Chain A
Amino acid sequence: GENVEQHPSTLSVQEGDSAVIKCTYSDSASNYFPWYKQELGKRPQLIIDIRSNVGEKKDQRIAVTLNKTAKHFSLHITETQPEDSAVYFCAVTGGSYIPTFGRGTSLIVHP
């Protein structure tokens, strides 16, 4: 089955800095790569996703890049703000009903 590894497990930055979270996957047939944000005590919510035929996608301060050859994709957050503090999960889907999630990255943005 699919295997997804997410790094780092914890990321601490100063407000205004950039943050990058990286995921690698194993199944070359995977074709959708969503990212979810989970604030403390809340549900995970989709923040951005990318499909396999696209290399980069941006939405304001958030971007996702995908390298299909190397089988990795990354979440980039620029100009971080305290409200960006949360746990971020990458996921991989494609060809099955079951998404595979990374183990999560706890992002802490210090004011």
Chain B
Amino acid sequence: SQTIHQWPATLVQPVGSPLSLECTVEGTSNPNLYWYRQAAGRGLQLLFYSVGIGQISSEVPQNLSASRPQDRQFILSSKKLLLSDSGFYLCAWAQGAKNIQYFGAGTRLSVL
């Protein structure tokens, strides 16, 4: 069966520091991969998605970037974090016409 791993679970970073969040999927090949951000008590904001290695589409312009160096690996990065980058970051994978999203456990990022 398919599983998705996301780490770290929590992260506290100072303003201006870099960021790297990683997500890997097991048990499937060529999944569509997604990064979402969720502010406290709010909805799901799609940040990036990828339909293949090296292919990244950005939904929201900001100081974040994403990369997909391997088929089942998706990385979210920033060179310099802002206070407004705080939130709950969720990685997800999907496959097929239904495009059902299967989410990782999430990373709670606090930028201080």
Contact = CB atoms under 8 A, between A and B. Distances in A.
A25 interface: no
A89 B32 contact: no
B49 A43 contact: no
B101 A44 contact: yes
A103 interface: yes
Contact of A43 (B46, B90, B94, B99): B90
Contacts of B90: 43-44
B12 interface: no
Interface string A77-109: 000000000000101011001110111101000
Chain B CB within 10 A, most for which of A32, A44, A102, A104: A44
A67 interface: no
A18 interface: no
B99 A32 contact: yes
Contact of B105 (A43, A94, A101, A104): A43
Interface residues of A, number: 23
A76 to B, nearest CB: 20
B99 A44 contact: no
A45 interface: yes
A99 B101 contact: yes
Contacts of A44: 44, 90, 101, 103
B103 A43 contact: yes
A55 B106 CA distance: 34
Interface string A24-60: 0000000110101000001111100101000000000
Given A36-B101, A97-B32, A101-B44, 12 more contacts: A34-B98, A43-B103, A43-B105, A43-B106, A44-B44, A45-B103, A46-B102, A49-B98, A89-B44, A98-B46, A99-B99, A103-B43
Interface of B: 32, 41-44, 46, 49, 51, 59, 90, 94, 97-106
Interface of A: 31-32, 34, 36, 42-46, 49, 51, 89, 91, 93-94, 97-99, 101-104, 106
